[in-house]
Structure 1
């Protein structure tokens, strides 16, 4: 009888703990929202763009350490399908694996060592082009990062981004007032592009122009 009672108590404890873990995971999943960054830049054949960024205006962030080491600016992300034939996304796809954070550092511990941040994919708004991407309504040479982002980790729903191109971080800017149906005032100043989690964010390399739109 004692053994049966102990087994029942143990089973209930395990079930309660498991339910708690599942609940926390579900709560975390609720915080993840599809987020898109478009960054316009013309590059030469065979050249590619990465994105770096994080929570806040970039101060106090890790730039040469793993985001797993407690970087206060690193934002958890999960890459989403781009809807482009994989024959044309092989460079981006190479670096997506184990890219678990948007951060100001380069490659992550289990990411390909050649990564210089979060990989972006060149896209076009031309439906006849092999790089056509349905979310791109803006033109050619728009580099896309499409992720599910942990918006719950952001105090105000905004995060900063800059492009990274062949060893060079995009120059500082002074972002103006954004256009778009989801544009709202940014609650802090920054020298980076300031994006809104859960929305489509459209920028141009080195420009203060910006657009934030709903899906």
Structure 2
């Protein structure tokens, strides 16, 4: 039995012969997007709604289109009226139809299946507003967002460098992110699959740390160009913009990094970041200048906890900063 997990909390369990590995290929049969997608370990998983039917393929054989009719057994208290289940299982075709957001159990080349809800406490949810990062209450790993306002031109990108301590205190004895005790393991989150997010999605492959060392070993390239840190993406609060993000309630040109962070790795729930501007920016290219952080506004704002030459962010919260400036806002998640 093999299990796959996605940050939107959906699993597939497939009974198959254990002596050979297998890949999942599929598309959104509901919308007609049936172009096969191979899901490798270094490729971000699609979000719910993008991947609701799949074939299994052994690498030593061709894709055998075995015609079957899927027979559904609803688990738990979902009921057959659940639209996410019906959307998946009622799509005609040669694939297993699955319910996004549930545990889906199939047998190779057979139509029998079971769809179960996740046990309480196993799905990913936004952090509780009552949880104080760095405390002993609540889960340690928290969704964290960085917004860094910087107006740019086409070809410029903003990357995020950072760690549990100020840059000057961290990089002296370490040559890479993995060995630096100030580096913090992260898991970046998908923000979209359109062309607007192509650089962000390419560069976040194998981006395993928020660190002060720039590109990591085997971190993804975009159009042959290496990253300079953890990627962010230009966002807007205008809902017709290709860069629209609902958490951006401020304006245009707020570069966004969305990731999961273990708050126990931070300095009492806080960490330090700086921007890196790439592209044709003249004297402004490279690492952001030193800033003196002011008292942050917002629902989780306050004074900086320790001296630093960078922006000080709070784990488990939405952190809004401005390039080369010390004013800031820190909010709890909605």
Asked if the contact 2:234/2:256 (under 8 Å) is kept, the reply is yes
Q: Is 1:75 matched up with 2:184?
A: yes
Please give the residue correspondences for 1:81-100 in structure 2 after superposition, counting only pairs within 5 Å: 81-82=190-191, 84-100=192-208
Query: How far apart are the structure 1 equivalents of 2:261 and 2:190?
Result: 14
Name segments (4+ residues, structure 1) moved above 2 Å: 57-60, 62-65, 184-187
Q: Is 1:160 matched up with 2:235?
A: no
Secondary structure (helix, strand or coil) at the match of 1:30 reads coil
Secondary structure (helix, strand or coil) at the match of 1:148 reads strand
TM-score of the superposition, structure 1-length normalised? 0.82
Return the match for 1:178 from 290, 296, 300. 296
Number of the residue aligned with 1:118: 230
Query: How far apart are the structure 2 equivalents of 1:45 and 1:58?
Result: 29
Return the structure number with greater helix share.
Answer: 1
Asked if the contact 1:36/1:146 (under 8 Å) is kept, the reply is yes
Number of the residue aligned with 2:327: 209
Asked if the contact 1:60/1:72 (under 8 Å) is kept, the reply is no
Q: Is 1:35 matched up with 2:144?
A: yes
Tell me the CA shift for residue 100 of structure 1.
0.4
Query: How far apart are the structure 2 equivalents of 1:154 and 1:160?
Result: 9
Number of the residue aligned with 1:51: 160
Q: Over the residues paired in the alignment, what is the CA RMSD in angstroms?
A: 1.7
Query: How far apart are the structure 2 equivalents of 1:157 and 1:75?
Result: 12
Secondary structure (helix, strand or coil) at the match of 2:248 reads coil
Deviates more, 1:108-117 or 1:55-64: 55-64
- Structure 2 unaligned residues grouped into runs of 5+: 1-137, 279-284
Asked if the contact 1:51/1:119 (under 8 Å) is kept, the reply is yes
Secondary structure (helix, strand or coil) at the match of 1:90 reads helix
Larger Rg: 2
Query: How far apart are the structure 2 equivalents of 1:155 and 1:130?
Result: 36
Secondary structure (helix, strand or coil) at the match of 1:49 reads strand
Tell me the CA shift for residue 60 of structure 1.
2.8
Tell me the CA shift for residue 188 of structure 1.
0.7
TM-score of the superposition, structure 2-length normalised? 0.53
Asked if the contact 1:49/1:121 (under 8 Å) is kept, the reply is yes
Deviates more, 1:56-65 or 1:129-138: 56-65
Number of the residue aligned with 2:84: none
Query: How far apart are the structure 2 equivalents of 1:50 and 1:163?
Result: 6
Tell me the CA shift for residue 103 of structure 1.
0.4
Deviates more, 1:100-109 or 1:185-194: 185-194
